[in-house]
Structure 1
Amino acid sequence: MTRLNNHVIVLAVGLSALAGFVDVLGFLELHGRFVAFMSGNSTLLALAMARQDVMALSIAGGIILTFVTGTFVATLIAHFVPRHLHIRVVLWLVAGLLLAGFFSHLAGWPVVAIAGMTLAMGAANAVLQRDGEVVVGVTYMTGTLVKIGQKAAQGLTGGARFAWLPYLLLWAGLVAGGIIGVLIYDKAGLNGLAIAAVWAAILSHYAVWLRIAIPSEAARDS
């Protein structure tokens, strides 16, 4: 992440904040289950398996499968569109899925609404990728917190002094988005998905405005 330019880092932080926002909406709506944080859902899956709780197992497993499907579809799309378009196209997909979740909520289809949110969060991880590999994961922060510790230690032992800062910003973005999500949910419930969809659309326009693209390894090293 430290090798990315500032525009990409800002986009990553914006995506992380979006993930925190949407995950909190899902967490509150699902009473303790996640739509973006799959490590937590994997723990819940293990708990359900050990206790033979079929309902909890079905919910956790369904969410995980839906999330992976979102990443799968978005990665395929990124592969087939021109490199300079893939960020904005995948962000349009994220915005569309969130909007679909919003309208499903209005229609009284809660399962479809949650599916839209989860697909969107899976797709969000395919926004910032290079040669089919994720450059910045925006919905999982354990690795990011590890990087903060590693880069801070390296800064004290001869490495770049502030290489930890982009990772801290990424984590802070998720937390800030989560705080906003709580405030919105308490007032509007899943109607907050409309805000999330607009948020994703704004990020797409930001990428278009600054012509943000992540070059391939070959292009970067040439």
Structure 2
Amino acid sequence: MIRHDRREQTLAVCLSALAGYVDAIAFIQLGGFFVSFMSGNSTRLGVGLADNAGAAALAGALIAAFVAGVATGSVLGHFAGPRRRTTVLILIAVLLAFAAGLALAGAPMAAALVAAIAMGAENAVFEREGEVRIGLTYMTGSLVKLGQGLAGAVLGRERNGWLSYLILWAGFLAGALAGAAAFPHFGFGAIWAGAAGAFALTPLAARTERMERM
């Protein structure tokens, strides 16, 4: 994060907040399963294989949908070239709108799977040469970097290197809080706001693309 300019950092924090927002809504709707946090679903899969086939099936389906989203976002981003970020963001917005529509039609499980595809695709926004430069939908890596940055500050290396990772994590947390607050009022339909948010971020993504080409 510290190697990215201010616009890229802002986009990353907003996308992290989007992931937290969508994940919190799905978590409540599904009773403890995730659409962006696949480590949690992997644990649910392992536990479910031991004593709950239905839970294992749902966790496995969400993991498969997420991986399919990562692959889709990566392929689309590859062909989009310098317009990778805006193209992938439009894909995310369309998928989240589709998920909200499925929820409105009374198909929450299908909506959750589509939302998981969208969250997988989000990781392609900052992909370069097959590597994800900023993890947006999972915070374990950011918290590890935060801890390493704090250690670096204590040891006299980069004094503020930890701050950007704290802000990224705080963005995810703020999004999750917003999703949890919206769910009692709008149910899974609150995903509509996530779709609108993804689309609203496309101008910022376009500016980061222009800066990258300069």
Band of TM-score, shorter chain: over 0.9
Q: What is the CA deviation profile of residues 123-157 of structure 1, one whole-angstrom value per residue up to 9, with x for unaligned ones?
A: 11111111121000111111111111101111121
Partner of 1:167: 165
Residues in 2 aligned to 1:191 and 1:81: alpha-carbon distance in whole angstroms: 30
Aligned residue number for residue 40 of structure 2: 40
Q: Which residue of 2 aligns with 1:57?
A: 56
Shift in alpha-carbon separation, 1:13–1:96, aligned structure 2, 3 A:
same
| Equivalent runs, 1:82-97 vs 2, <5 Å | 82=81, 84-97=82-95
TM-score, normalised via structure 2 length: 0.96
Q: Offset at 1:212?
A: 5.2
Q: How large is the RMSD of aligned CA atoms in angstroms?
A: 1.5
What amino acid maps onto 1:15 in structure 2?
L
Larger helix fraction of residues: 2
> Does the aligned pair in 1 maintain the 2:61–2:113 contact within 8 Å?
no
- DSSP-derived class of the 2:201 partner: helix
Closer/same/farther in 2, CA of residues 212 and 179 from structure 1, 3 Å limit:
farther
Is the contact made by 1:79 and 1:132 (CA closer than 8 Å) also made in structure 2?
no
Structural mapping, 1:188-203, within 5 Å = 188-203=186-201
| TM-score, normalisation: structure 1 | 0.92
Contact 2:70 2:124 in 1 (8 A): yes
Task: Give the fraction of aligned pairs with identical amino acids, expressed as a percent.
Answer: 41
Shift of 1:214: 5.4
Q: Is the contact between residue 105 and residue 191 of structure 1 (CA under 8 Å) also seen in structure 2?
A: yes
Distance in 1, matches of 2:208 and 2:124, equals 19
For 1:199 and 1:151, locate their aligned partners in 2 and report how far apart those are by CA, in whole Å. 30
What SS class does the counterpart of residue 81 from structure 1 fall into? Answer: helix
Tell me the distance in 2 between the aligned counterparts of 1:198 and 1:137: 21
Deviation at 1:108, TM superposition (A): 1.7
Q: Distance in 2 between matches of 1:134 and 1:210?
A: 16
Structure 2 runs not aligned, ≥5 long: none
- 1:76 corresponds in structure 2 to 75
Structure 1 SS opposite 2:181: helix
Aligned to 2:100: 102
**CA separation of 1:142 and 1:130: change in aligned 2, threshold 3 A:** same
Q: How many residues align?
A: 214
